[in-house]
Amino acid sequence: MFLSEPAREALRKSQNIGILTGAGISAESGIPTFRAKDGLWSKFKPEELANIQAFMRNPKLVWEWYQYRRNIITEAEPNLGHHALAQWEQQHDNFTLITQNVDGLHARAGSQNIVELHGNILRNRCLTCGNVSEIEEVNFKGTVPLCTCGGMLRPDVVWFGEMLPPEALNAAFSAAENADIFLSVGTSALVHPAASLPEIAKSSGAFLFEINLEPTPLTPYADAFLEGPSGEILPKLLTQWQTERTK
Ligand code: BV8
Ligand code: ZN
């Protein structure tokens, strides 16, 4: 894979590595991205379903969407991109993986130090008592699942208009501020505050790689734009990093 000399030098000298992933890294695992053109749910925009108002108005519809996505996710396997990041973390101390994804695939690939900015679709949270449960603990009969306290359950994810978990957001900001290389992988870089992380890294002096199928609003700021599928590019980038480290 071609890398410019500054990109190779950044890999060689990297100390603190920060990564932000989006739905694109899970696309090769068969999980539809948010802005995919096809699919049953493409007639809905995520902002129309992933918000508390839509849920309170029609909890059954929103649960159907999450159950549909959960079924795809439980069938899916991590792909070579997830595995490359898990291996990279094994080989380097200061490595922080920040994900917008709620599919849990990074953990299934073996990543340890994961910052989940938007929660996890495989957990439920009670609107009344706040109790968090795993999906196995709740039996769905196509209705809206209830907590043992009688309260209504929701997926334990961050919806539009909701605050991100403060500890996750703080960890993400500090990883971006301290990174000397930062990778934005498989995200359209549209949703804030996650989309501000690559810019924070860059303005704090990091060399910014973007790995994406197509250009995004971030691309003009990237020091290296590696266009293509993350499942192919990330393993090559890891190999390049290993090679540069031996120089
Ligand atoms: C908040 C969890 C406020 C749920 C998600 C106007 C301007 C700026 C901001 C706003 C605004 N109006 C409103 C806002 C705020 C809003 C926002 O940013 N809206 C956007 C749409 C403009 N943000 C929020 O509401 C956030 N909260 O701001 O709270 C606040 C503050 C204080 C106090 C109270 C409240 C909350 C945002 C979190 C929403 N939750 N997910 C769920 O999943 O169901 S968002 C969801 O979409 C994802 O988590 C992800 O973050 C987001 C974007 O998706 P991507 O991951 O980027 O995926 P996408 O499909 O878009 O792109 C995939 C990319 O991959 C593509 O570019 C594609 O080309 C590429 N690709 C595809 N295949 C591959 C590939 N690349 C590589 N390899 C491949 N194989
Ligand atoms: Zn409860």
pLDDT digits (tens, 9 = 90+) for 200-234: 999 999 999 999 999 999 999 999 999 999 999 99
Angle ∠(201,110,228) on CA atoms, nearest 5:
55
Peptide bond into 193 cis (omega under 30): yes
- Render 69-99 in DSSP notation, one character per residue: HHHHHHH----HHHHHHHHHHHT-SSEEEEE
Strand arrangement of the beta sheet that strand 17-21 belongs to = 114-116, 95-99, 17-21, 181-185, 207-212, 224-227
pTM: 0.96
The residue whose C-alpha atom lies closest to atom 58 belonging to ligand 1 is 23
CA of 117 to the centre of ligand 1 (A): 10
Residues 131-154: what's their mean pLDDT? 85
Q: Residues 6 or more apart from 3 whose CB is under 8 A from it?
A: 11, 224, 240
pLDDT, tens only, 69-123: 999 999 999 999 999 999 999 999 999 999 999 999 999 999 999 999 999 999 9
Pocket of ligand 1 (CB under 6 A): 22-24, 27-28, 33-35, 46-47, 50, 100, 102, 118, 157-163, 186-188, 190-192, 194, 212-214, 216, 229-230
SS3 of 227, please? strand
Ligand with smallest separation from the Cα of 29: 1
Q: What is the mean pLDDT of residues 147-174?
A: 96
Domains and CATH numbers, the chain: 5-31+78-118+163-245 (3.40.50.1220), 40-75+125-157 (3.30.1600.10)
